[in-house]
Amino acid sequence: MPDKVICMADENEKSTLDRMTRRTFIKGVIAAGAVSWTGYMYKATAIAAPGASSGSIERLITLNVNGQERHVDVMPQETLAQTLRNKLGLTGTKIGCDRAECGACTVLVDDVPLYSCSTLTHSVRGNKIVTIEGLKGTGDKLHPLQQGILDEQGFQCGYCAPGFLMAAAGFLKTNPNPTRGELAHGVSGNICRCQDYEKILDALMRGAQYLREA
């Protein structure tokens, strides 16, 4: 066979291979897309229609929040932060990251600080929940921690303050007379985007002192 013909045959074969490769590739992409879309649909269905897979979960529940029995309609996948803020109007609990990283959403559950953005509401039925709205002093006084913040002007924008207060309140129940370092460690799950940590610690140390004297 002449060289030119051999070359043309090679070219034809190469372009067939190219087409095959491209076709195979495109088919692969379509197949992968179909699989991932199916996965997405499956997950979406599971979330949108919880009754289909968890029909026995009762949505109308009673929660003990700030010493009150609150009746509320809660979806199975709903977080405590969502329930507190959107259903019960307790917007003092803040949402920062919504993924268990910043502590802005901290509340007490049976006196233990928990990230409410990462706690399913159904999991705390029967527990005692305290939010920043439930942190009160005796009579019409501020809670000693709140008074400490007022006296030391501990926060800048204040967005992180409710979370820090609840974390400190929970920690001080286990260690009422901490060193500054111990208290810093106790609230180390909370982040302040204004980076006001020294002032926050001044305020919380002052609040801890007021709490001991109360």
- Residues near ligand FES (CB under 6 A) are 95-98, 100-105, 115, 117, 155-160, 192-194, 196
Least Cβ distance, residue 21 to ligand FES (angstroms): 47
Alpha-carbon gap, residue 156 to 148, rounded angstroms: 15
C-beta closer to ligand FES: residue 8 or 194: 194
Within its chain, how far is the Cα of 117 from the centroid? 3
Determine the Cα–Cα distance for residues 104 and 165; give it in Å rounded to an integer.
10
Q: CB 177 → ligand FES: shortest distance, Å?
A: 25
Shortest Å distance, C-beta 56 to ligand FES? 29
Question: What are the residues facing 72 on neighbouring strands?
Answer: 61
Smallest gap, in angstroms, from Cβ of residue 153 to ligand FES?
11
Instruction: Report in angstroms how near the CB of residue 105 gets to ligand FES at its nearest.
Output: 3
- Of 95 and 145, the one with the shorter C-beta distance to ligand FES is 95
Q: CB-wise, 27 or 193, nearer to ligand FES?
A: 193
Q: How far is the CB of 107 from ligand FES (least distance, A)?
A: 10
Say how far apart CA 84 and CA 94 lie, in whole Å: 10
CB–CB of 136/143 below 8 Å? Answer: yes
- C-beta of 66 vs 79, nearer to ligand FES: 79
Structure-token match 């501990």, residue found: 154
User: Which contacts of 177-180 are long-range, i.e. CB under 8 A and separated by 24 or more positions?
Assistant: 177/208, 177/212, 178/208, 180/205
| Other Cβ atoms closer than 10 A to 74 | 21
Q: Give the nearer residue to ligand FES in terms of CB position, either 57 or 191.
A: 191
Helix pair 161-174, 144-152: axis angle to 10 deg: 130
> Which lies closer to ligand FES via its Cβ, residue 57 or residue 78?
78
